Amino acid sequence: MGLIRMAILGGLGYFGYKKYQESQNTSPAAFDEDQTGTVRNAGADQMRDKPKNWTKTDEELDESFPASDPPANY
């Protein structure tokens, strides 16, 4: 009887974990879901997880990355 309960609980756990994995977003955090290619466009609207606060400085830094010279007005 205990073995049957463990098998049922194990099966429920397995299917629950599979559903959990399917619900997770698998795209990289830097890329928007609709973005194609391997280079992300600049701007908060191109990110998968949109930031709550996005300043002009954030925008300029995002536009300059990965350049070696960051904007000088921050």
Amino acid at 21: Q
Q: How confident is the model at residue 9 (pLDDT cuts 50, 70, 90)?
A: very high
Average pLDDT, the chain: 78
Model pTM score: 0.42
Q: Which residue has the tokens 């830094």?
A: 61
CA atoms within a 13 Å half-sphere pointing along the CA-CB vector of 50: 5
- Percent of the chain surpassing pLDDT 90: 22
- Predicted confidence (pLDDT) at residue 28 exceeds the cutoff of 70: no
Q: Could you tell me the two tokens for 68?
A: 């070696």
Amino acid at 58: D
Q: Could you tell me the two tokens for 38?
A: 């391997």
- Contact criterion met (CB below 8 Å) for 29 and 48: yes
Q: How confident is the model at residue 46 (pLDDT cuts 50, 70, 90)?
A: confident
Q: Where are the domains of the chain?
A: 1-64
